A and B are shown apart, each in its own frame.
Chain A
Amino acid sequence: NAGVTQTPKFRVLKTGQSMTLLCAQDMNHEYMYWYRQDPGMGLRLIHYSVGEGTTAKGEVPDGYNVSRLKKQNFLLGLESAAPSQTSVYFCASSYSDEQYFGPGTRLTVT
């Protein structure tokens, strides 16, 4: 099993550009999450999903949108990137209490 995978691993955007980050899991987990991690800080929840076709806002949802059209995939979109969205983005999935994390996407917005 690959576990949780994220694409791309790195990306540089100019202010105002858009992009989509893809998260895929092969563990048949119901729950999926998107976090951002800023230097020297813990993870903050952006959006989450409790099942296919459902999404909900987390702690810091502004500037992001998500979709969960298939159970195994959770997409994070930035419609108009801002320098404040420079961060490392982590996806995670779970079926109970423990969360399984992907390797992260390092995004720089200039």
Chain B
Amino acid sequence: SQQGEEDPQALSIQEGENATMNCSYKTSINNLQWYRQNSGRGLVHLILIRSNEREKHSGRLRVTLDTSKKSSSLLITASRAADTASYFCATDGPLNNNAGNMLTFGGGTRLMVKP
């Protein structure tokens, strides 16, 4: 079973709008990461937030983490057509045994940004 579940599964917005994606997970974590996957390509790391952090920024990306609710959100501001991709959250539990930095991925949110 998957540790993380993204919501919504698909999102369509106009260029310039903000896009918000949510991720929920089931067990305790050390950190949570967000990755982007363009169609037919491998995943690319976007941002990592540790369990003792509540918010993190990177360019147009803003990630929040609420460990009490076991949830995270990824906000992309002022979206561009080039942001069209699938976005996945990944947690370092429950498979992680501190001997491999293993990640468990959610099912992803497919984002389409219309020009």
Q: Which residues of B contact A48 (CB under 8 A)?
A: 100, 102
Q: Are B102 and A45 in contact (CB under 8 A)?
A: yes
Which of A31, A43, A44, A90 lies in contact with B100, CB distance below 8 A?
A31
Known: A31-B100, A45-B95, A58-B95. A101 touches B106 (CB 8 A): no
Known: A42-B106, A97-B92, A98-B48. A50 touches B100 (CB 8 A): yes
Q: Which residues of A contact B41 (CB under 8 A)?
A: 103-104
Q: Which residues of B contact A44 (CB under 8 A)?
A: 2, 105
B97-115 interface bits toward A, Cβ cutoff 8 Å, 1 = contact, 0 = none? 0011111111110000000
A37-48 interface bits toward B, Cβ cutoff 8 Å, 1 = contact, 0 = none? 000111111001
Which of B40, B101, B104 lies in contact with A97, CB distance below 8 A?
B101
Of all chain B residues, the one with the shortest Cβ separation from A42 is: B105
Of all chain B residues, the one with the shortest Cβ separation from A4 is: B42
| Alpha-carbon gap, A46 to B28, bound state (A) | 22
Which of A90, A94, A101 lies in contact with B101, CB distance below 8 A?
A94
Interface residues of B, Cβ cutoff 8 Å to A:
2, 4, 9, 31, 33, 40-45, 48, 88, 92, 95, 99-108
Given A42-B2, A103-B42, 19 new contacts (CB under 8 A) = A31-B101, A40-B107, A41-B108, A42-B4, A42-B107, A43-B105, A44-B105, A45-B103, A49-B100, A50-B100, A59-B104, A92-B42, A97-B92, A98-B48, A99-B43, A100-B45, A101-B42, A103-B41, A104-B40
Can you name 17 A-B pairs with beta carbons within 8 Å? A33-B100, A35-B105, A42-B2, A42-B88, A42-B107, A45-B104, A48-B102, A50-B99, A50-B100, A56-B100, A58-B102, A92-B42, A97-B92, A99-B43, A99-B45, A100-B45, A104-B40
